Amino acid sequence: MQPGTAWPPTPGVATAPITVDGVADRYDVIVVGAGAGGGVAACVLAEAGHSVLLVERGEALTLADLPRDHLRNARVFTGLQRQIDPPMAGNPRFHGEDLLLPGDLLWHNNAMTVGGGTRVYGAQAWRFCPEDFRMRSTYGEPFVDWPLTYEDLEPYYDRVEWEMGVCGPEGLRPHDGPRRRGYPMPPVSANAAQPVLERGANELGIATAEVPLLINSIPYGGRPACIQCGTCVGFACHADAKNGSDNTFIMRAIATGRCQLLTGTAGQRLVTDGSGAVVGVTLAGETWRRTISARHVVVAAGAIESARLLLASDIGTAHDQVGRYLQGHLYAGAVGVFDEVVQDCKGPGPSISTTDYRHRNDGVLGGAILVNEFVPIPVEAWSRLSAFDVVPAWGKAGLEAMRQVYSHVAFVVGPVQEVPLPTSRVTLEPRVKDRYGIPAVRLLGSGPHDEDLRAAEFMVERGQDWLRASGAKRLHPVRLILPKWPSGGQHQAGTCRMGLDPRTSVTDPWGRVWGHPGVTIADGSLHVTNGGVNPVLTILALSMKVSEHLAEELG
C-alpha cells in the first residue's frame, strides 16, 4: 500500500451511535470499550463477517464538544472536569481510603469517549523493541517474559502503521527490531528545537531521529495533512490529521454494516452459563439495564476498567491475578533555558528523539527514550516551569518571566520502563457503587520500585547532558513521579496480563481468559511489561493479533 491509498472514509457512512432501542438481543461479538484496542477488535471482527456491538461508556464527542479549552485540556489538572472525563457525580474511585473524582490526576483517567485516548493523544507511535518482550531473560527477576516475541508481533505493527497511518524516519534506530518495510509517510517538518538538539547530540555522539507519529504528514487515508497548529496533545485534531481508532478502525467497522456503536453505556457484568463460559453482557445506561447475548465478548475498556469488569463478574479470579501489576510510566528528563529561540509553537512538537538509552545501561533495569516535548499550552508551561523554579509561581513577576522565557525553553523527557508490582493493583469497593450500579474501583499500591527511581535518575542525567551539549544556559531536572501512588494514567497497562500459566497470569497468549471460554481481552491490560516508550502502537497491534485469532475461531 502506497501513501494516500489506505482505506478512505466512505461518503454517507452513518457513524452516529444507535440508541438502546436499536440493540438486538444477540450478536456474534460484544466489544466493551471503543478505545484503541476495542476499535481494532470491532473492525477485525466486523470485516471478518461477524455481527458486532461496540459498547462505549463515554459519548461520541464532536469537535464542538472538544474545543481548544486550555483549562479543560486532557493534560492539565486544574480541578475542573476535563473534556474527556466522565461526570464528576457518580464516578468515584478510591486509593486506600482516599476518595478520588474524575479530573484528579490520581483517578487515572485516559479518555472516556469513542476513540478513547487516541482521540486526544499526542500520537507517538513507537514499537516495543525485542528486549521489551523478554525482560526476565535480559535482566532477571522480578521481571517476567511475555509469552510472545517481537517477531510474533512485527507483522501486526506493520499493518497498524500502514492501515492507520504513521509518519516517521527512514532506517532503524538503536534497539529497534527488524522491520519488513518503512513507514508509509515521511516525518513532519522540523521545528526550532530540532537543529539545536541535533547539534548537542552530535557533540555527545548519540544517535537521533525524527519521532514516529500517528499523524498525517501528507494527505493519507482520505484525510488531510497536519497543519502543525501546535494544539495537538490533549486536544482533538480540528484538521482531522491525527489518526485514532475513531476515524480509522471504528469507521471501517461501521462501514461494513455489521457493527453497531452504542455509547453512554457501561458493561455492568459478564454473564456466564453453568460451565463458567461467558455468554453475554449485562449493559447499563443512565435509565436502563439490559442483558445481551453473544457468542463471544471482547473486553477492551482499559487496564483499570477491564480489570474492574472481570472482578465485578468474578471472571478469571481463581488465582487472584486480575487487577495486579497495574503499571504506567514515570517520566524523567530535563528542561533547559537557551539564549536562542527553541520553541516556535510549530506542532505537533516532538521532532527529535534518541533511543540510545532504551536498554543496556550500566546499573539500570531497562531505560527510556528521550524526546523533545509537545508544544505546551500556557497553563501547562506555567505549571511545569514554576514547579521547576524556572519562573516565579505568582504575580506580575511570573507573567513577565513567562513572556521572556517561554520561547527559549526546551524539554527532553521520556517514559521510564517500570518494574511491575503485584501490590500495584485494581480492587473493588463493594460498599460504594457508581452511577451504573458497578462497585467502585479501589486502587492499591504505594509507588514505584526502587529500580524505577534509579532508572529515572539515569534519564534525568542523560537529559541534562543532552541539553547542556545543545547550549542550554540553565538546567532543571524533570521527575514526573507519583511517590506514594500506583502508576497508571494515560499509559495504564497490566492488570490482566497474558502468560503461559493460569497461576501467574489472567489470559493465555491469545488474550483468552483462563477457565472461561467466550471472553477475550484486547487492550493494554494484557501487557506483561510496558516498555520504555508510549504503548499505544503495541496495544493496537496486539489487539489486531488476538482479534484475528478470535475471528478464525468463530469461523
pLDDT score for 384: 83
- Cell numbers placing 47: 470485516
Q: Where are the beta strands (DSSP E) in 33-151?
A: 52-55, 93-95, 98-100
Packing angle, helices 395-405 and 378-387, rounded to 10: 110
Give the H or E element holding residue 427: strand 425-433
Q: Are residues 366 and 318 in the same domain?
A: no
What was the pLDDT predicted at 7?
A: 44
Dist. CA 401–CA 396, nearest whole Å: 8
Task: Report pLDDT for 298.
Answer: 99
Q: Concatenated DSSP letters for 282-324?
A: EEE-SS-EEEEEEEEEEE-S-HHHHHHHHHHHT-S-TTS-TT-
Q: Which domain holds residue 53?
A: 11-121+153-159+244-327+421-444+486-555
Measured from the Cβ of residue 20, the count of other Cβ atoms closer than 10 Å reads 15
**Residue 131, in any domain of the structure:** no
* Domain match, 340 and 313 both: no
Q: How far apart are CA 166 and CA 187, in angstroms?
A: 9
| Domain presence at residue 352 | yes
Secondary structure element (H or E) that encloses residue 190, with its range: none
- Residues ≥6 apart with Cβ < 8 Å to 510: 520, 546, 549, 550
Q: How far apart are CA 360 and CA 363, in angstroms?
A: 9
pTM here? Answer: 0.96
Burial of 452 (0-12, 13-18, 19+ CB in 10 A): buried
Please answer whether residues 211 and 352 qualify as being in contact, where contact means their C-beta atoms are separated by less than 8 angstroms. yes
- Predicted local confidence at residue 481, as pLDDT: 81
Q: Of 485, 509, 540, which residue is a domain's last?
A: 485
One domain for residues 302 and 352: no
pLDDT at 535: 97
Neighbours of 450 (CB within 10 A): 9
Domain count, the chain: 2
Domain check: are 378 and 456 in the same one?
yes
Read off the CATH number of the domain in which 411 is found: 3.30.410
287 plus 337 within the same structural domain? no
Residue 206, CA distances (Å) to 1, 174, 219 in order: 33, 10, 32
Give me 206's grid cell. Answer: 548519540
What is the SS3 assignment for 209-261?
ECCCECECCCCECCECCCCCCCCCCCCCCCCCCECCCCCCHHHHHHHCCCEEE
Cα-based angle 69, 538, 361 (whole degrees, multiple of 5): 100
Does residue 207 sit in the same domain as residue 306? no
Please state the separation of Cα 370 from the chain's center in Å.
Answer: 18
The answer to whether the peptide bond before residue 87 is cis (omega within 30 degrees of 0) is no
Cell numbers for 312, please give them: 465485578
Residue 83: CB partners within 8 Å, gap ≥ 6?
A: 61, 65, 66, 69, 72, 73, 74, 120
Is 287 in the same domain as 261? yes
* Stretch (H or E) spanning 419: none
Residue appearing with cell numbers 510496558: 530
Last residue of a domain, one of 466, 485, 504: 485
374 and 454 in a single domain? The answer is yes
Helices 193-204 and 450-470, axial angle in degrees (round to 10): 100
pLDDT tens string for the chain (555 positions)?
Answer: 333 344 444 433 456 799 999 999 999 999 999 999 999 999 999 999 999 999 999 999 988 888 888 888 887 777 778 888 899 899 999 998 899 999 888 889 888 999 999 999 999 999 999 999 999 999 999 999 999 999 999 999 999 999 999 999 999 999 999 999 999 999 999 999 999 999 999 999 999 999 999 999 999 999 999 999 989 988 999 999 999 999 999 999 999 999 999 999 999 999 999 999 999 999 999 999 999 999 999 999 999 999 999 999 999 999 999 999 999 999 999 999 999 999 999 989 999 999 999 999 999 999 999 999 988 888 888 888 898 888 998 899 999 999 999 999 999 999 999 999 999 999 999 999 999 999 999 999 988 999 999 999 999 999 999 999 999 999 999 998 877 788 888 899 999 999 999 999 999 999 999 999 999 999 999 999 999 999 999 999 999 999 999 999 999
Co-location of 19 and 66 in the same domain: yes
Phi and psi dihedrals of 458, rounded to 5? -60, -45
Asked if 492 and 365 sit in the same domain, the reply is no
Q: How far apart are CA 349 and CA 374, in angstroms?
A: 4
Q: Tell me whether residue 224 is in a domain.
A: yes
**How many CB atoms within 10 Å of residue 469?**
17
18 in a domain, yes or no? yes
pLDDT of residue 11: 37
Mind giving me the DSSP string for 346-390? Answer: -SS----EE-TTSS--TT-SS---EEEPPPPPHHHHHHHHHHTTS
Q: Which pLDDT value is given to residue 15?
A: 65
What is the reported pLDDT for 9? 46
Q: Are residues 430 and 397 in the same domain?
A: no
Angle at 456 between CA 455 and CA 457, to 5 degrees: 90
d(CA 190, CA 169): 12
193 found inside a domain: yes
